[in-house]
Amino acid sequence: EAAVTQSPRNKVAVTGGKVTLSCNQTNNHNNMYWYRQDTGHGLRLIHYSYGAGSTEKGDIPDGYKASRPSQENFSLILELATPSQTSVYFCASEDRGDAETLYFGSGTRLTVL
Amino acid sequence: GEQVEQLPSILRVQEGSSASINCTYENSASNYFPWYKQEPGENPKLIIDIRSNMERKQTQGLIVLLDKKAKRFSLHITDTQPGDSAMYFCAASGSNNRIFFGDGTQLVVKP
């Protein structure tokens, strides 16, 4: 099964601070995604990438930046964290073969105080 | 539009009964419809999917139905067990080959 590793698992940040969430996948998938999950909203797409050097805005990109320096790594950056960004963040990579399956990491629980 | 509507948001059923979750989509070009299950504290995992060239798919107690004319698809879990208690997400493919998720259904199977 595809391996998607997120770090850190838990993070507490202060308002106005910079936060970087990291994601690494070892399955050579081209597409990677960052979602946030909040009660009542399901999975909302923040940014995604089609490959190294590519980043695209998802449905809720405001307040977030993304970076894809390599096939394996995709980071989500909160330059000025706010309490409204308190959430669980999931990274996913996608097998673009027949299955188009999304493989999710274990998630990062971010609390912004 | 690309929205996927999912109902109900919470579903409580008795162990051994069946559970049904319904989704509708807007994009008539959608051709791939996966279902993900998320257990408490875990990440979402694909459990079954269906493509637009099929109307029905079944695997291990799960049945997915697709009605393209009505832009509607559904997940049916037969003979529910406590281990089926989880959050379930439907999704549909859309523009730029993206996947659009519904808001999820919390299934509670009562013993």
Span B16-35, pLDDT tens digits: 999 999 999 999 999 999 99
Q: State the pLDDT at residue B20.
A: 98
Is any Cβ of chain B less than 8 angstroms from the Cβ of A99?
A: yes
- Nearest Cβ partner for B46 among A41, A102, A107: A102
Report the run of H or E that residue A65 belongs to, with start and end: strand A65-67
Q: For chain B, what is the HEC assignment?
A: CCCEEEECCEEEEECCCCEEEEEEECCCCCCEEEEEEECCCCCCEEEEEEECCCCEEEECCEEEEEECCCCEEEEEECCCCHHHCEEEEEEEECHHHCEEECCCEEEEEEC
Given CB atoms, is A32 within the 8 Å cutoff of chain B? no
Q: Nearest C-alpha of chain A: how many angstroms from B60?
A: 18
Instruction: Provide the shortest C-alpha distance from residue A52 to chain B (in Å).
Output: 17
Q: How distant is the alpha carbon of residue A26 from its chain centre?
A: 16
A89 interfacial to chain B (CB closer than 8 Å): no
Q: What is the pLDDT of residue A99?
A: 53
What's the N-to-C CA distance of chain B in angstroms?
A: 40
Q: What is the DSSP letter of A68?
A: -
Give B-chain residues touching A107 at CB under 8 angstroms.
Answer: 43
A18 touches chain B (CB under 8 A): no
Tell me, what's the pLDDT at B36?
97
Q: What is the mean pLDDT of residues A3-28?
A: 96
| Band of pLDDT at residue A27, cut at 50, 70 and 90 | confident
Closest by CA position to B1, among listed B27, B21, B20: B27
Residue A101 pLDDT class (50, 70, 90 cuts): confident
> Is residue B8 reached through a cis peptide bond, with omega within 30 degrees of 0 on the bond before it?
yes
User: Residues A29-65: pLDDT tens digits?
Assistant: 999 999 999 987 789 999 999 999 999 999 999 999 9
* Strand ranges, E, within A26-64: 31-38, 42-49, 56-57
